Structure 1
Amino acid sequence: MTNPSSRSIKFRLALGEYDFLVEYDRGKDNVTVEALSRIEISSSELKEMTSKIESSAYVVTRGRARKKLEQSKRDAEVAPKDAGLDHPGIVQLLKPPVDSVELRPVYEWKFQEIKSGENKKIECKRENI
C-alpha cells in the first residue's frame, strides 16, 4: 500500500493475524446484496423497527461515566453523610415537639353501618399520653 490512511493501517493490523482472501464482485454479479437492498418494507413495519431502535439507544460514554464518577467523589468529599444535621432547621425537625396536640378522629363510622345506612357516631375517649 502506498500512502495508506490511518484507518487502513488500523484494519490491516487488526486483520493481520487472520488468513483470508478478499474478492471483488461487481454489483450485477452479487445477487444476494442486490436482493437485500431492494426489499420493500411497509411503513408499519418500519415504524415498529424505528421505535425499537429509539427506545433502546440510551448510551453512556466512558468519558461521561468517568466525569459523573469524579463528580460524585468530589460531592462525597465535600459533604460527608451527616453534614447537614447541624443545620438549625434540621435540628428543629428532629427535636420532639413541645406542648403539641395529637389529632385523632372524634367519630368514626363502621363500614357495615355505613353500608346499612345506620350512621351512628362512636365517640373516642381522649387518652392522656
Structure 2
Amino acid sequence: MVANPLRYGVSEWSLTGLTPASCKNVKASRVAEAIFSVEGKLLETKEYESRVTPGKMTGVLAIIEGVHFWAREDALNDDKNQLDPTVLRPMSRLGGISYGRVLEGVEVPRPQWDEMKPEAEAAGLAKPKSDGQ
C-alpha cells in the first residue's frame, strides 16, 4: 500500500475532527480527547539497515524521555497512580497499517523472595549470579 500524505499546509487536525491541546514543555500539540498522553523529548535515534537490501534503512528506534503526562480523571485509580485498562482500552501497532486492541489483561504477582527462599534453597535453585548476568 502506498502512503497518500497530505499536501504541505493542509491541517490533519481539521480532517480528523480531533482537538489540539497545548503542552507544557514541548511545542507540538497533543490530542485533547486522548485518555492518556505523554509529552516527550527526543533523546536519541538509531537507524537499522535492511538485511535484505543492504544500504536501505528500514527501521528507526527512537528513545524518548517523558517530561509531562496527561490522564483523564475517570481513567485513574483512587490513588491517582495507575490507569484503568478498561477505560484506557490500549492499542498496539503490529506493523504497517495493522493494529491490535488489548481486550483482556492479567495480573502476574511478583514472587516474594522471603516466601520462596526456603524451597528454592532446598531444591538447589538459589545460586549466586555468574559473570554476565
**TM-score calculated relative to the size of structure 2:** 0.21
Higher-helix-fraction structure = 1
Q: Which has the higher strand share?
A: 2
Q: Which protein has greater RCO, CA pairs closer than 8 Å, 6+ apart?
A: 2
Bigger radius of gyration among the two: 1
TM-score between the two structures when normalised by the length of structure 1: 0.22
